[in-house]
A and B are shown apart, each in its own frame.
Chain A
Amino acid sequence: MTDKPFQMNKWILLALVVLCWALAASLTAGYYYYQYNDLSSKVKETIITANLGINYGNGSAIHWVNETKINAGSTLLDLTKLTASVNYTESLSGASVNAIDTIPNSDGKYWLWWSHSSYGWTFGQVASDKYVIGQNETVVWYREAYTANPQPPS
């Protein structure tokens, strides 16, 4: 028996390692997906309250609708529809708000949203129908110029 050296293409080895990682990651993701759905269905009937402000970007004061009762798991769009008239377009990336209370995106100003927490204001990075509202959360719609550095509502 001759002892020849081990020869295996490093890319095949790498592919095997990536396959292992992908299987473990998929199983983990599946577990959390199941847990998320399970928890969502359990709290679906729970009522929470949230505060919504609307800054129309025309110099008027923020219009507040506080302590609105809404089902846990509801999105910002759901909350907005409860308190104002919303015109939006749905797409793959989520709902894009065109107008709130008949005030449209215009003059270079767009409807953006901000969430308030103990850290201050946080810019809304996702579509309003993708953001789940938390208990006692405060969110503001702010019609403002969309720049690289949008300013929080004041």
Chain B
Amino acid sequence: MKTIKIAIIVTFCALSIGTDYALVGIPNVKLMDLIVFIGGFLFGSVLGSSIGIASWLIYGSINPYGSDPRIWVATMLAETLYGITGGLLGKALQSTSLSSQRLRLSILFATMGFLPTVLYDLITNTVYASVFGTPVIVAILLGAPFAVLHEGANFLIFGALSVPTIAALRKVVKR
């Protein structure tokens, strides 16, 4: 692997963890999901997922809100959804220019930020329910405001930041 790729991946992990701590006061609005997604888009699903797992390894173990090991593992694994989605989309758009049809691309990326988040929230709420002995449907319904905030925020973040970030990083990675 090229040194520059390793440097970018390590930087991604650092960015992901750093922005998580910076945004700790705003629950469920994070840049981590976007960073993992972009990692997957540029370097493939495996590396993207690795960024997600590595980020949660640190953020989940030193978390101001505390953490249950089962929920921690679930969030770590669920975070790979963004890496996998990014990897698949990156493959599909491998030879596609990001400089034309920017609005359509941004809408596509926005939905690709939203849909894995729905699955992520379902997984984490289900695990939360089993850990605390709450009925799954109740956990999902009571967690809905946080889930919708998470999904809506990712829709906006992915829609606004994916295209310019990926376009800029493509130039660096191509060198």
| Residues of A bordering B, CB below 8 Å | 1-8, 10, 13, 16-17, 19-20, 23-24, 27-28, 30-31, 33-34
Nearest-CB distance from B124 to chain A (Å)?
14
Stretch at the interface among B35-43, B62-70, B76-84, B108-116: B108-116
Mark contacts of B51-65 with chain A using CB atoms, 8 A cut-off: 1 yes-contact digit, 0 otherwise.
000000000000000
Chain A residues, Cβ within 8 Å of B110:
17, 20
Instruction: Report whether over half of chain B's contact residues are helix, strand or loop; otherwise say mixed.
Output: helix
Cα distance A19–B118 when bound, in Å? 11
For the complex formed, measure the closest distance between the CB of B156 and the CB atoms of chain A, giving whole angstroms: 11
Contact of B144 (CB < 8 Å), options: A5, A17, A20, A31: A31
State which of A1, A6, A13, A30 has its C-beta within 8 Å of the C-beta of B141.
A30
Residues of chain A with a CB closer than 8 A to B151's CB = 20, 23-24
What separation, in Å, do the CA atoms of A78 and B98 have in the docked complex? 63
Residues of A within 8 A of B98 (CB): 6
- The minimal Cβ–Cβ distance linking A151 to chain B, given in whole angstroms, is 43
Chain B interface size, as a band, is: 20 to 34
Interchain residue pairs A-B with the least CB separation, the first 7:
A31-B144, A3-B97, A16-B111, A34-B141, A27-B144, A6-B101, A20-B114
Q: Which residues of B contact A16 (CB under 8 A)?
A: 107-108, 111, 115
Choose one: B94, B104, B142; the contact of A34 (CB below 8 Å). Answer: B142
A27 CB contacts on chain B under 8 angstroms: 140-141, 144, 147-148
Residue B155 interfacial (CB < 8 Å)? yes
- A10 partner, pick from B93, B104, B111, B141, beta carbons under 8 A: B104
Residues of chain B within 8 A (CB-CB) of A17 are: 107, 110-111
Given A1-B95, A20-B114, A20-B155, also A6-B107 (CB < 8 A):
no
Q: Name A6's contact: one of B105, B138, B145, B155 (CB within 8 Å).
A: B105
